[in-house]
Structure 1
Amino acid sequence: MMPLVILLVSIAGLVSFHPFDGYFRFTLSVAMLATLLLYFERLSVIKVSAISGGFMLLFRTAVKYPFIDAALTDTLIHNLPAFGYYLAYAVLFKALKVRDYTGNMPALVLLLSICDIASNCVELIIRWELFGRSLETILTSVVAMGIGRSILAVIGYYSLKRYRDFVLAEDYAARYAELTLIIARLKAELFYLKKSSANIELVMEKGYTLYQKLNADHPGELAQPDSPAAQALAIARDIHEVKKDYYRVTRGIEEILNVAESEDGLPLAEFFQIVEQNTKRYLSSLDKPVTITFDYSGSGELITDQYYAIVSILDNLITNAVEAVGPAGVVAVAGRRGGGRLTLTVADNGPGIKPEEIELIFAPGYSTKFSEITGRMSTGLGLSHVKNLAESLGGEVTVTSSPGKTIFTVFLPLANLAAIG
């Protein structure tokens, strides 16, 4: 960081002018130095200022020496007072604890002005340029320049800080959107885990019932490891262990989600924006120019606590639509509120779905897609997720399709969305 700061200060030093006859000059380097010292609080004031002053001394000597008829030593001596300026500025900056006043703009400008004015006076005294000149003229110039450069430094500092806050806010929003989508997917998976747990419980009960029946029909065979009764009991026990593992997993996910979830609902517009942001990031990672639009202006002031389910529904439908369309595909996503329900639509201009496949697309495991890298078929769970999540909210999913146009529509009753407003 320090080399970059010194380089920026040196470049700013190229902007200069000589207010009086002599070697004394005003530059923008001190405004740049003050800005960076305020912004990067970990930088050593004395060290950075001293190295910057030394570098400026060498830089000015190297630039000036080839074009004047003077010895190298004389050129160094003429520019040496500028090094004194930087040392004086650093000492005053640290002594006045300027960094402690970054939250008070008037005080900050005043303290920086004092540092600048006093340091210029030190340089002028070293150069003996205060003698034989109009003190009023010199001080007027020094004070005006000191205040002007201090204002520039403060503007620069607050601009950098504002930009940093803006970048951090954008980063936070992106992370929040990603977290919401992850939680939505976890919610969908948890739904299926619970459903599987119920099925496992039922299978375990059937296995144990089978064991009881076999043991009743053939008493005494339980002692034989290979008997049907013993095998049925072993199966029931194994299923019971699987059930306990499922229970631990579901409880662990539920605990995570309970911590991550907000107890309050979110406006529909907010999680539509989350889906939109994540979709754009997803599209940017694909080598496939797809145009996608979002319209949720008709959702009103809908607020719901079922946003994870809705995000998961939209995410799956949008992903399917993007995969279905060609390189110049168009996908349109919309949300509408009316008739006591929320209507979500995802339309695309892909090749469409064959009539004989429409009844099959919501079946778990059904898919016509495969990975171009591994050659494996897709799991076919996306639309099954959508159907089950919609039905768990008391809604339904419909699809209409023809070559060049496919529309998935999800109807969700507002009464089941804990809607407000």
Structure 2
Amino acid sequence: MVVELIRVVRREYKSILIVVLLVGLAGLAYIYPFHTHFRFTVSVAVLATLLLYFPRLPTFTTAVLSGIAIFIGRSAVQMTFDPVGLTQVMMINSPAIVYYISYGACFQALRIRRLVDNLPALILFLSVSDVFSNIVELLTRGEPLKGNPETVFSSLVGVAVLRAVLAVGAYYVLRRYQAFVLAEEQVARYTELTVMIAQLKAELYYLKKSSQDIEQVMEDSYWLYKRLYTRDSADSDAAQALAVARNIHEVKKDYSRVVTGIENILQPSATLHGLRLAEIFFVIEQNTRRYLAGHDKNIAISFKHEYDFVTDQHYAIVSILDDLIINAIEACGDTGAIRVTERASAGEIVFAVEDNGCGIKAEDFDLLFEVGYSTKFCPETGKMSTGLGLSHVKNLTEMLAGTVELESEVGRMTKFTVRLPVRSIVLPGEWAEEGGT
């Protein structure tokens, strides 16, 4: 038992030290009820509260150490402000240690911690421990009391009940506060988990989109191999094209495994058959904000849609908007603002991506959507950009029977407007239900 107590003290010494200091400080405020050196203080209420609140604290050890702390504190104050001898100071203040020894012993013997859910019994047993310990202290002091014994005993009982009520009240307040803090932590964890799941869903969406892109590249590589294979002079080219197709096929299989695994974990509500525009904007916004944060860019970006619809062309819409947003980010540099909007007008869905970046010269407008044309380069490597982004936007837009428009002023703004027919991107029934015009 002694060994276990030592282990507990070693493990909980910080908590014990805090409790002892709090009780010691509370013990410096007191009153003299019987015109002797016997004192009433709230320190025992503080001790009882903390012993109840921290069930792992060793009861008797903490109580004894609290009594010693009160003895030291009172003696130091008395020797500082009252010129009396050390022996007299010790005689006056040492009975306080006896009180806390008795209180700790009663607290432990009566197993008061087991009564925390029985309010009347808890107050009763705390009061009994307090009264008994006060009587022990009075007997230790041996000082004559002014007043009849009935009055003294009534005072001891009244103060004991008051301190017990204070201790129990403080304990329940602390417990309620603890429950409140735990609830806040649970809400925070739930919010964090929700955000994490949303981010995973966004990543899952991009994995699905990449899988589709890889499928298309694999198919193109295979048909390139077939065409090259018919030419006798291009055996090496054909073999290389076939190797590319095989490698892409392996990558596609790995992507499929990852997508399936994440789908099984998240069980996303969205399927490949249709997504609402609000979900598409959410995915793009989350991805863009992570990109900006990862590249330390101070660019404000906003998303606004007026008409929410379900589309089965979400991969194409994401590709178009992603390329335009990346182009806008590059135009802004390290600071700027980007607006992404959507509206419905005269049988069309109109998307716009506008930035306040460097702008585009008028003479570059005609060449901007050509494959391989670019005015950008990588500052680290010095290599020019491939110039595929805007040409890809044009191809996807035309595939959906739409058009791309460009407005720009050098040094002020650039705005790409993509107009797509409703019939090419909105699933049947959605347009009439939403009351599109």
Q: When the two structures are superposed, what TM-score results if normalisation uses the length of structure 2?
A: 0.63
Aligned partners of 2:31 and 2:39 also within 8 Å = no
Aligned partners of 2:222 and 2:241 also within 8 Å = yes
**Distance (whole Å) between structure 2 residues aligned to residue 276 and residue 92 of structure 1:** 62
Deviation at 1:117, TM superposition (A): 3.4
The 5 A counterparts of 1:195-214 are 195-208=213-226, 210-211=228-229, 214=232
Aligned partners of 2:49 and 2:168 also within 8 Å = no
Task: Name 1:45's counterpart in structure 2.
Answer: 56
Cα pair distance change 1:306/1:238, threshold 3 Å: closer
Max Rg structure = 2
Q: Which amino acid aligns with 1:351?
A: C
Q: 1:249 aligns with which of 239, 244, 254?
A: 254
Report the 3-state secondary structure (helix = DSSP H, G, I; strand = E; otherwise coil) of the residue aligned with 2:183.
helix
Q: Which amino acid aligns with 1:23?
A: R
Task: Name 1:401's counterpart in structure 2.
Answer: 408
Q: Which amino acid aligns with 2:100?
A: A
**Distance (whole Å) between structure 2 residues aligned to residue 94 and residue 392 of structure 1:** 79
Deviation at 1:150, TM superposition (A): 2.1
Deviation at 1:282, TM superposition (A): 7.5
Report the 3-state secondary structure (helix = DSSP H, G, I; strand = E; otherwise coil) of the residue aligned with 1:45.
coil
The C-alpha deviation readout for 1:272-305, integer Å capped at 9, x for no partner, is 7888788778777887665566667x568x7899
Q: Which amino acid aligns with 1:350?
A: G
Task: Name 1:262's counterpart in structure 2.
Answer: 268
Cα pair distance change 1:238/1:276, threshold 3 Å: closer
Aligned partners of 2:99 and 2:137 also within 8 Å = yes
Q: Which amino acid aligns with 2:63?
A: G
Deviation at 1:112, TM superposition (A): 5.4
The C-alpha deviation readout for 1:229-256, integer Å capped at 9, x for no partner, is 6x57754663453143123222113203
Aligned partners of 1:365 and 1:379 also within 8 Å = yes
**Distance (whole Å) between structure 1 residues aligned to residue 386 and residue 196 of structure 2:** 23
**Distance (whole Å) between structure 2 residues aligned to residue 271 and residue 109 of structure 1:** 56
Task: Name 1:62's counterpart in structure 2.
Answer: 72
**Distance (whole Å) between structure 2 residues aligned to residue 308 and residue 97 of structure 1:** 63
Task: Name 2:426's counterpart in structure 1.
Answer: 415
The 5 A counterparts of 1:8-407 are 8-10=18-20, 12-13=22-23, 14-15=25-26, 17-18=29-30, 21=33, 22-27=38-43, 29-30=46-47, 33=50, 36-37=53-54, 45-47=56-58, 49-68=59-78, 69=84, 70-71=86-87, 74=91, 75-86=93-104, 88-89=106-107, 96=114, 98=116, 107=117, 113=123, 116-128=126-138, 133-208=151-226, 210-211=228-229, 214=232, 231=236, 234-235=239-240, 238-239=243-244, 241-259=246-264, 260-263=266-269, 324-325=331-332, 329-332=336-339, 347-355=354-362, 356=364, 360=368, 368=376, 370=378, 400-402=407-409, 403-407=411-415
**Distance (whole Å) between structure 1 residues aligned to residue 282 and residue 67 of structure 2:** 54
Aligned partners of 2:304 and 2:342 also within 8 Å = yes
Cα pair distance change 1:95/1:171, threshold 3 Å: closer
Deviation at 1:166, TM superposition (A): 1.9
The C-alpha deviation readout for 1:196-218, integer Å capped at 9, x for no partner, is 3333233224424644664xxxx
Report the 3-state secondary structure (helix = DSSP H, G, I; strand = E; otherwise coil) of the residue aligned with 1:401.
strand
**Distance (whole Å) between structure 2 residues aligned to residue 267 and residue 93 of structure 1:** 62
* Alignment root-mean-square deviation, CA: 5.2
* Of 362-371 and 23-32, the range deviating more from structure 2: 362-371
Deviation at 1:80, TM superposition (A): 4.0
Q: Which amino acid aligns with 1:67?
A: V
Aligned partners of 1:336 and 1:343 also within 8 Å = yes
The C-alpha deviation readout for 1:345-374, integer Å capped at 9, x for no partner, is 5544333344426964797996736467x7
**Distance (whole Å) between structure 1 residues aligned to residue 349 and residue 100 of structure 2:** 71
**Distance (whole Å) between structure 1 residues aligned to residue 351 and residue 223 of structure 2:** 40
Aligned partners of 2:353 and 2:416 also within 8 Å = yes
Q: Which amino acid aligns with 1:29?
A: V
Deviation at 1:163, TM superposition (A): 2.5
Flag structure 1 segments of 5+ consecutive residues without an equivalent. 38-43, 99-106, 215-226
The C-alpha deviation readout for 1:50-105, integer Å capped at 9, x for no partner, is 4543442343233222233444754444234225434544665675164xxxxxxx
Q: When the two structures are superposed, what TM-score results if normalisation uses the length of structure 1?
A: 0.65
Q: Which amino acid aligns with 1:60?
A: I
Aligned partners of 2:353 and 2:415 also within 8 Å = yes
Deviation at 1:151, TM superposition (A): 2.5
Task: Name 2:6's counterpart in structure 1.
Answer: none
The C-alpha deviation readout for 1:366-419, integer Å capped at 9, x for no partner, is 6736467x7777888887898899899998876543333344566786834997
Aligned partners of 1:193 and 1:250 also within 8 Å = yes
